[in-house]
Amino acid sequence: MADLEAPVNTPAWLSGKSYDELQTALARAQQSQAHKERWKYTKVDKLLAGLSRQDASNQSSCLVDIPGGIQVQRLTDATQNFLSSTDFGSLIEDAPEVVNLLLQAGAIDYIYVTKTPDACLVLEHTGQSLPVFIRVAENVDLKILEQQADTLSKSHQHCLWLQQEASSRVIHARNNLGWDQEQDGQILFRHLQVHLARDAVYTLQNHSVGAATHRQNIHINCAGPGAHAQLLSASLVPEKAHLDQQITVQHTAPHSTSRQTVHNIAGQAANVTFNGRIHIHAHCPGVQAHLSNKNLGVAQQANINTKPELEIYTDDVQCSHGATVGQLDENHLFYCASRGINPDLAKQLLSTAFLNTASQGALAETAMATFAHLSERMVGP
């Protein structure tokens, strides 16, 4: 474990805690069994080493397009402790690496969306982006488009917090297509944390290709009754690339619902991990939580790990949880062949179709074009 360097600035949200205290807590969390389990398929040291080299002056805002009426505040140590509303105690336990990242950033872009904007909020990552905290007020609708620039730097980390107040609706289209094969050892780390109040609806439309190291954390808490989280994710991980998705959906309120559909394709010698955890807390009757993870290996040698985890502490809930690892369906391949479609084209068509069924939204077309291009190379002779 890389040592945590002293933060460039000590943010205000550390108020009340000494830096030493925090470091002790982080060290403890990083050595816990749970943490080791969550970092089984990605070398955390590599990532943290990349992290500790960051310095706040290199970080830029990823907020490239802000609809009228929305103010961005740059929060540094001098600003108020806005993060008091999030539970940092559990963040230290759940994702100590993220606390690390925040400490290194020393600043956060903070947005409070108080009325439905008439345009999308656009986030674009080029180099090191500052963490972003978006608060969406009651009854407000927001569309977020998050992408990577073509020239993404070699090491990229980003945290996004979304705090949705009652009855707000967010559609978040997110493409992680920035793998640059020319950049040896590219490391990407994304942490997304969503908190949903009563009747808030969150939809994530996620697309990814791997990288040398590509880790995605997605933590969603359905914290109010009637809250609904919908997650669609399609990824194509080409030759020798890596993708590690760690998704946790918590239901801490009754009658909240979630649905996750995650389709991943692994190419030759690719490493693909999906760890999907659904945690239904006590006293949450009426919760419905569904997760489906399907993986396709299109090459002889691909490493696919899928681990669905369920923790349920209330009886009266509906929960389904399925994970499969397979190859392309022979009946589909024969149907294509019987129409004269040659096997390579059929494989390409069917792989793209498999991803298509877990792909939606404003950035889907771009993603599917990238996938088609990659799969052409993957299944080619």
Partner 1 sequence: MSILNISNLHAEVAGQPILKGLSLQVNAGEVHAIMGPNGSGKSTLANVLAGRPGYQVTSGSVTFQDMDIADQEAHERAVAGIFLAFQYPVEIPGVSNMEFLKAALESHAHAKGGNQPNAAGIIKQARELAKSLDLNPEFLKRGVNEGFSGGEKKRNEILQMLLLEPTLAVLDETDSGLDIDALQVVANGVNKFRSQDNAVILVTHYQRLLDHIQPDFVHVLADGKIVQSGDKTLALELEEKGYAWLT
Q: Which of 140, 232, 336, 379 binds partner 1 (CB under 8 A)?
A: 336
369 is an interface residue for partner 1 by CB under 8 A = no
247 with 275: CB under 8 angstroms? yes
Residue with tokens 């400490």, as numbered in its chain: 103
Write the single-letter amino acid at 210: G
Q: Is the dihedral of CA 90, 35, 9, 145 positive or negative?
A: negative
Q: Which of 355, 374, 378, 379 binds partner 1 (CB under 8 A)?
A: 355
The CA-atom distances, in angstroms, between 301 and each of 150, 155, 294 are 29, 27, 17
Of 292-331, binders to partner 1 (CB under 8 A) are 329-331
The alpha carbon of residue 109 and the mean position of all alpha carbons in its chain are separated, in whole angstroms, by: 18
Q: Which of 83, 108, 222, 349 binds partner 1 (CB under 8 A)?
A: 349
Helix (H, G, I), strand (E, B) or coil at 312: strand
Minimum distance from residue 371 beta carbon to partner 1 (Å): 11
**211: DSSP letter:** B
Q: Which stretch binds partner 1 (CB under 8 A): 87-95, 99-107, 269-277, 333-341?
A: 333-341
Q: Which stretch binds partner 1 (CB under 8 A): 61-69, 119-127, 271-279, 342-350?
A: 342-350
d(CA 40, CA 26): 18
- Our CB check for partner 1 shows the closer of 48 and 349 to be 349
Minimum distance from residue 125 beta carbon to partner 1 (Å): 29
Minimum distance from residue 358 beta carbon to partner 1 (Å): 9
350 is an interface residue for partner 1 by CB under 8 A = yes
341 is an interface residue for partner 1 by CB under 8 A = yes
231 with 247: CB under 8 angstroms? yes
The secondary structure of the chain in percent helix, strand, coil, rounded to multiples of 5, reads 25, 40, 35
Q: Which of 9, 183, 314, 356 binds partner 1 (CB under 8 A)?
A: 356
Minimum distance from residue 344 beta carbon to partner 1 (Å): 10
- Our CB check for partner 1 shows the closer of 306 and 351 to be 351
The CA-atom distances, in angstroms, between 288 and each of 110, 189, 258, 297, 315 are 32, 30, 6, 30, 12
d(CA 42, CA 56): 25
Q: Which stretch binds partner 1 (CB under 8 A): 32-40, 200-208, 242-250, 353-361?
A: 353-361
Structure tokens that stand for 157 in this block: 């980390």
- Our CB check for partner 1 shows the closer of 55 and 365 to be 365
Structure tokens that stand for 346 in this block: 């059929």
CB-based burial of residue 279 (10 Å sphere; 0-12 exposed, 13-18 middle, 19+ buried)? Answer: middle
- Our CB check for partner 1 shows the closer of 1 and 337 to be 337
- Our CB check for partner 1 shows the closer of 313 and 335 to be 335
d(CA 242, CA 234): 14
Pairing status of strand 257-266 against strand 288-297: parallel
- Our CB check for partner 1 shows the closer of 68 and 380 to be 380
Minimum distance from residue 231 beta carbon to partner 1 (Å): 18
332 is an interface residue for partner 1 by CB under 8 A = yes
Q: Which of 337, 365, 373, 377 binds partner 1 (CB under 8 A)?
A: 337
Minimum distance from residue 346 beta carbon to partner 1 (Å): 8
354 is an interface residue for partner 1 by CB under 8 A = yes
Q: Shortest CA distance to 45 belongs to which of 173, 161, 191, 215?
A: 215
Q: Which of 24, 65, 343, 365 binds partner 1 (CB under 8 A)?
A: 343
Q: Which residues bind partner 1 (CB under 8 A)?
A: 329-332, 334-343, 345-346, 349-350, 352-357
